[in-house]
């Protein structure tokens, strides 16, 4: 990764921390994201965080864009989700199990890991979809390993690891989709679907 890309990731993490500390509104965050992905020099990137209030010492970057579950308690071994002609949403602060088995039949399920408390090591999502859709939203910095089967369907892994360290938690996705869809996407904390789409357009144009 080039120096400018490392600087870009650092500025993005800093902007996320300012958003978390109420120094930026959602609209301001998305606007600065847009400028960050268009910036061509480190000076342009530094200008995006110039003038912002000082962050508290305990949240100074660099910081991961995901949170780990506290140690000292048993990991949840398995959770099962049966979605039949209905909708399931898991967002906010929650802890996935070590093994998450999702069966979705003519339904819709969304699992947002951006504010989840991730387990150390590997977390497995076994997704089996029939005429439905399952969406997995992952923050940068996590590693994703995907191995799925699709029949007249879509098994789409659009995740970007970013600056994932070697010891980062791993999300393993397996399963099948029959006349349905499994979609794995990367979004930054606080980033809307529209802002993520704009960011991907900018990344694709480089």
| In a shared domain, residues 111 and 154 | yes
| In a shared domain, residues 108 and 86 | yes
135-171 b/e (C-beta count within 10 Å ≥ 16 → b)? bbbbbbbbbbebebebeebebbbebeebbbeeebbbb
| In a shared domain, residues 51 and 80 | no
| In a shared domain, residues 76 and 103 | yes
pLDDT digits (tens, 9 = 90+) for 86-113: 999 999 989 999 999 999 999 999 999 9
| In a shared domain, residues 163 and 197 | no
17: DSSP letter: H
Tell which residue, 3, 8, 9, has the closest CA to residue 165.
Answer: 9
Cα angle, residue 173 at apex, residues 168 and 174 outer, rounded to 5°: 150
Cα–Cα distance between 38 and 95 in angstroms, integer? Answer: 35
| In a shared domain, residues 169 and 78 | yes
Q: What's the token pair of residue 84?
A: 């039949």
Q: Which structural domain range is residue 24 located in?
A: 3-64+191-205
Task: Compute CA distances 199 → 35, 94, 196, whole Å.
Answer: 10, 26, 5
Say yes or no to pLDDT of 190 above 80: no
CB 179 within 8 A of CB 131: yes
pLDDT digits (tens, 9 = 90+) for 63-82: 566 778 887 667 788 999 99
Alpha-carbon torsion 116, 119, 13, 139, what sign?
A: negative
| In a shared domain, residues 175 and 98 | yes
pLDDT digits (tens, 9 = 90+) for 107-147: 999 999 998 999 989 999 999 999 999 999 998 888 899 99
| In a shared domain, residues 94 and 30 | no
| In a shared domain, residues 29 and 117 | no
| In a shared domain, residues 88 and 39 | no
CB 160 within 8 A of CB 140: yes
| In a shared domain, residues 87 and 100 | yes
| In a shared domain, residues 113 and 52 | no
Tally the domains of the chain: 2
Least confident of 50-54, 113-117, 162-166, 181-185: 162-166
End-to-end CA distance of the chain: 14
pLDDT of 163? 57
């Amino acid at each position: 990764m080039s120096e400018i890309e490392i600087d870009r990731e650092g500025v993005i993490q800093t902007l996320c921390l300012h958003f978390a500390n109420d120094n930026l509104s959602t609209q301001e965050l998305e606007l600065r994201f847009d400028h960050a992905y268009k910036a061509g020099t480190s000076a342009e990137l530094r200008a995006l965080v110039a003038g912002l209030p000082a962050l508290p010492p305990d949240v100074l970057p660099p910081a991961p864009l995901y949170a780990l579950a506290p140690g000292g308690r048993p990991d949840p071994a398995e959770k099962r989700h049966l979605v039949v002609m209905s909708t399931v949403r898991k967002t906010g602060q929650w802890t996935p199990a070590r093994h998450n088995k999702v069966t979705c039949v003519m339904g819709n399920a969304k699992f947002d890991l951006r504010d989840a408390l991730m387990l150390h090591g590997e977390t497995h999502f076994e997704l089996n979809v029939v005429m439905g859709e399952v969406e997995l939203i992952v923050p940068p910095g996590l590693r994703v390993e995907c191995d799925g089967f699709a029949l007249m369907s879509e098994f789409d892994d659009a995740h970007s690891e970013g600056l994932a360290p070697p010891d980062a938690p791993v999300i393993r996705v397996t399963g099948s989709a029959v006349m349905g869809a499994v979609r794995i996407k990367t979004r930054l904390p606080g980033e809307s679907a529209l802002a993520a789409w704009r960011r991907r357009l900018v990344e694709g144009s480089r």
